[in-house]
Structure 1
Amino acid sequence: MSIIYYCRHCQHQIGELPDSHVHDARLGLHSLTPEEAADIISYNSIQNSTYVKTVCEHCQEALEAHPELNLLSNPLQ
């Protein structure tokens, strides 16, 4: 199963671990609460992939430079 990381704000793919045999524990995903996991992780059984939301460098820099964007529901789309 591949693990695909993408930005929660701009939706760009950040990285991929193809057909990874890495367990959630090595990725730190096991430490998420059920609510956090539901928000951050999604599975696609058809594509045999796990999708993980994160924030790309560009969006992180934009949010740090303009903190008021955090008040918007979709600040960088």
Structure 2
Amino acid sequence: MKATDSKFRATSMALGLGLAAMLAFTPLLAQTGGNTGLRGRVIDQSAGAIPGVAVTVTRQDTEQVRTRYDR
């Protein structure tokens, strides 16, 4: 066996393992939720803004409730 074949095999194996590790941990990064949010406007039928409203959002799986009031 040539030395270049052995180096090529070792390099290929290292790259393959690195790629497999990156693919394995990608779903974990999607679970962080650090950049989540909700934005929008509350308007009436004529597209006019409605002052003094409260918007409540409920997360169904945890029943966590958040309410934001018009500023």
Between Structure 1 and Structure 2, whose CA radius of gyration is higher? 2
Asked if TM exceeds 0.5, the reply is no
Bigger share in strand: 1
What TM-score results when the alignment is normalised by the length of structure 2? 0.19
Pick 1 or 2: higher relative contact order, CA cutoff 8 A, min separation 6. 1
